[in-house]
Protein backbone atom coordinates (compact mmCIF):
# COMPACT_ATOMS: atom_id res chain seq x y z
CA UNK A 1 0.00 0.00 0.00
CA UNK A 2 1.20 3.45 -0.87
CA UNK A 3 0.70 6.45 1.39
CA UNK A 4 -0.62 9.88 0.47
CA UNK A 5 0.12 12.39 3.23
CA UNK A 6 -0.81 15.86 4.41
CA UNK A 7 1.42 17.56 6.98
CA UNK A 8 0.95 20.66 9.10
CA UNK A 9 -2.65 21.35 8.07
CA UNK A 10 -3.63 24.21 10.38
CA UNK A 11 -7.21 24.98 11.30
CA UNK A 12 -8.68 27.50 13.73
CA UNK A 13 -11.63 26.01 15.58
CA UNK A 14 -13.55 26.02 18.84
CA UNK A 15 -12.10 23.18 20.91
CA UNK A 16 -11.74 22.63 24.63
CA UNK A 17 -13.51 21.89 27.88
CA UNK A 18 -13.10 25.19 29.71
CA UNK A 19 -15.57 28.06 29.48
CA UNK A 20 -12.93 30.42 28.10
CA UNK A 21 -12.08 27.90 25.35
CA UNK A 22 -15.72 27.85 24.21
CA UNK A 23 -15.48 31.60 23.44
CA UNK A 24 -12.35 31.61 21.25
CA UNK A 25 -10.85 29.82 18.28
CA UNK A 26 -7.66 27.82 18.76
CA UNK A 27 -5.29 26.38 16.19
CA UNK A 28 -5.13 22.63 15.76
CA UNK A 29 -2.66 20.96 13.44
CA UNK A 30 -3.32 17.80 11.45
CA UNK A 31 -0.73 15.39 10.10
CA UNK A 32 -2.41 12.70 8.02
CA UNK A 33 -1.25 9.55 6.27
CA UNK A 34 -3.76 7.74 4.05
CA UNK A 35 -3.42 4.35 2.45
CA UNK A 36 -3.83 4.44 -1.31
CA UNK A 37 -2.80 2.61 -4.43
CA UNK A 38 -1.18 5.24 -6.63
CA UNK A 39 -0.16 2.90 -9.47
CA UNK A 40 -3.10 3.78 -11.73
CA UNK A 41 -2.61 7.51 -11.17
CA UNK A 42 1.09 7.17 -11.92
CA UNK A 43 0.30 5.35 -15.16
CA UNK A 44 -2.45 7.72 -16.35
CA UNK A 45 -1.11 10.96 -14.86
CA UNK A 46 -4.74 11.88 -14.18
CA UNK A 47 -6.04 13.45 -10.95
CA UNK A 48 -9.27 11.43 -11.23
CA UNK A 49 -7.24 8.27 -10.63
CA UNK A 50 -5.64 9.30 -7.36
CA UNK A 51 -6.51 10.34 -3.83
CA UNK A 52 -6.82 14.10 -4.18
CA UNK A 53 -5.08 15.51 -1.12
CA UNK A 54 -6.35 19.01 -1.90
CA UNK A 55 -9.95 17.79 -1.72
CA UNK A 56 -9.24 15.96 1.53
CA UNK A 57 -7.61 19.07 2.99
CA UNK A 58 -10.45 21.37 1.98
CA UNK A 59 -13.06 19.00 3.43
CA UNK A 60 -11.26 18.67 6.77
CA UNK A 61 -10.62 22.41 7.07
CA UNK A 62 -14.29 23.14 6.40
CA UNK A 63 -15.45 20.49 8.86
CA UNK A 64 -13.05 21.47 11.65
CA UNK A 65 -13.77 25.20 11.28
CA UNK A 66 -17.48 24.55 11.74
CA UNK A 67 -17.09 22.09 14.63
CA UNK A 68 -17.23 22.93 18.33
CA UNK A 69 -16.04 19.76 20.06
CA UNK A 70 -14.73 19.68 23.59
CA UNK A 71 -12.14 16.95 23.01
CA UNK A 72 -9.42 16.57 20.40
CA UNK A 73 -10.24 12.86 20.51
CA UNK A 74 -13.71 13.54 19.14
CA UNK A 75 -12.47 15.84 16.38
CA UNK A 76 -9.79 13.32 15.38
CA UNK A 77 -12.28 10.46 15.26
CA UNK A 78 -14.80 12.39 13.15
CA UNK A 79 -12.11 13.52 10.70
CA UNK A 80 -10.81 9.96 10.33
CA UNK A 81 -14.36 8.81 9.59
CA UNK A 82 -14.70 11.48 6.88
CA UNK A 83 -11.47 10.35 5.23
CA UNK A 84 -12.36 6.67 5.35
CA UNK A 85 -15.94 7.00 4.13
CA UNK A 86 -16.03 10.04 1.86
CA UNK A 87 -12.71 9.40 0.13
CA UNK A 88 -12.84 5.60 0.10
CA UNK A 89 -9.55 5.24 1.93
CA UNK A 90 -8.84 1.80 3.47
CA UNK A 91 -6.51 3.09 6.22
CA UNK A 92 -5.71 6.40 7.86
CA UNK A 93 -3.26 7.54 10.52
CA UNK A 94 -4.20 10.95 11.85
CA UNK A 95 -2.24 13.09 14.29
CA UNK A 96 -4.06 16.03 15.83
CA UNK A 97 -2.03 18.59 17.80
CA UNK A 98 -3.53 21.24 20.04
CA UNK A 99 -0.78 23.82 20.19
CA UNK A 100 -0.26 25.47 23.56
CA UNK A 101 -2.75 23.32 25.47
CA UNK A 102 -0.13 22.59 28.13
CA UNK A 103 2.12 25.52 29.00
CA UNK A 104 5.24 23.39 29.51
CA UNK A 105 4.83 21.54 26.18
CA UNK A 106 5.02 22.72 22.59
CA UNK A 107 1.91 20.78 21.70
CA UNK A 108 -0.24 17.88 22.83
CA UNK A 109 -2.75 15.73 21.06
CA UNK A 110 -3.66 12.30 19.79
CA UNK A 111 -2.58 9.88 17.12
CA UNK A 112 -5.20 7.47 15.83
CA UNK A 113 -5.19 4.76 13.18
CA UNK A 114 -8.39 3.51 11.62
CA UNK A 115 -9.19 1.02 8.89
CA UNK A 116 -7.14 -1.85 7.52
CA UNK A 117 -3.53 -1.40 6.48
CA UNK A 118 -2.15 -3.95 4.02
What is the side-by-side order of every strand in the sheet holding 26-36? 2-13, 26-36, 91-99, 107-115
Q: List, by residue number, the catalytic residues.
A: 98
In terms of Cβ atoms closer than 10 Å to its own Cβ (0-12, 13-18, 19+), residue 118 is exposed
Phi, psi at residue 82, to the nearest 5°? -60, -50
Amino acid sequence: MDIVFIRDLRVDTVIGIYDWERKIRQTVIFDIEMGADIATAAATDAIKDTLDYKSVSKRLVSYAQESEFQLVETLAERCAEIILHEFNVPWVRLTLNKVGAVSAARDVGVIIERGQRD
